[in-house]
Amino acid sequence: MKRIIIGISGASGAIYGIRALELLREVPDVETHAVVSPSAMGTIGEETDLTRDDLKRLADVLHDFYDVGASLASGSYRTMGMLVAPCSIKTLSGIANSYCDSLMVRAADVCLKERRRLVLMVRETPLHAGHLDLMSRVTVAGGVVMPPVPAFYVKPASLDEMVTHTVARALDLFDIEVPGISRWKDG
């Protein structure tokens, strides 16, 4: 069984992390571990009709945000890596500075130190030099910064299709194939 961590921070766009959990439920042999910040729960309440109990049903394991002693905080606990979707600038800053005051940042830090895949769907615009510096530092440390930019070549008919395609592209970075996703075609 492969394990992947899905972090959901307080930035707008909680649907990205939620959709990742939904899509991963359909992928055999992948166990999901979710870490959801208190700010994310507020955002989820504003942007969706989901509750914490709904998240518990979507993830195989829903970890306590403050439990830095959880399995995910140890490099000896094997995972494929971590997707933070969305990733707030606060979470990006914590990761870039190894400020591990939460399980979300500690789990990301473990992924970097163990050379596991870390993908951050940073949700902020416009960006200033400090934001760009943080993204550069995470990239130098081995992370992948992937802002959730929609692909229009797939001619999405709805916001749902745009979100699903963007999340599927993020999961591609973990070599996780999501069935039914449109891809660029030659000619």
C-alpha angle with apex 64: 63 to 65, nearest 5 degrees? 110
* Tens digit of each residue's pLDDT (9 = 90 or more) over 169-178: 999 999 999 8
Per-residue confidence at 181, pLDDT binned at 50, 70, 90? Answer: confident
Q: Give the span between the Cα atoms of 65 and 5, in whole angstroms.
A: 13
Q: Residue 100 domain-assigned? A: yes
Q: What is the pLDDT of residue 187?
A: 56
In sequence order, which residues have a C-beta less than 8 Å from that of residue 123 and are 6 or more positions away?
11, 12, 13, 16, 86, 87, 88, 147, 148
Please report, as a single letter, which amino acid is at residue 126.
P
Question: Domain range holding 127?
Answer: 2-172
| pLDDT of amino acid 112 | 98
Proportion of the chain above pLDDT 70, given as a percent: 99
Q: In terms of residues, how long is the chain?
A: 187
Contacts of 48 (CB under 8 A, 6+ apart): 14, 15, 18
Specify if 186 maps to a domain.
no
Q: What is the mean pLDDT of residues 152-176?
A: 95
Split at pLDDT 50, 70, 90, the class of 102 is very high
CATH number of the domain to which 152 belongs = 3.40.50.1950
- pLDDT-derived band at 186, boundaries 50, 70, 90: low
pLDDT one-digit tens code per residue, 39-71 = 999 999 999 999 999 999 999 999 999 999 999
In this structure, the strands spanning 144-145 and 117-122 are parallel
Answer yes or no: is pLDDT of 141 > 60. Answer: yes
Say whether pLDDT at 163 is over 80.
yes
Residue 72: count of CB within 10 angstroms of its CB: 24
Beta bridge partners of 33: 5, 61
6 falls within a domain = yes
Instruction: Record the tokens describing residue 136, joined without a space.
Output: 């550069």
102 within domain boundaries? yes
Domain count of the fold of the chain? 1
Identify the residue whose tokens are 């990301």.
Answer: 108
177 part of a folded domain: no
What distance in Å separates the CA atoms of residue 128 and residue 70, rounded to the nearest whole number? Answer: 34
**Is the pLDDT higher at 145 or at 186?**
145
Task: Specify if 185 maps to a domain.
Answer: no
Does residue 180 sit within a domain? Answer: no
105 is a domain residue:
yes
Q: Which helix (H) or strand (E) holds 108?
A: helix 103-113
- By C-alpha distance, which of 140, 144, 166 is closest to 153? 166
State the amino acid at position 149 in one-letter form.
Answer: V
Beta pairing partners, 83: 6, 119
Above pLDDT 90, what percent of the chain?
Answer: 92
Please compute the mean of the pLDDT values over residues 72-83 and round it to a whole number. 98
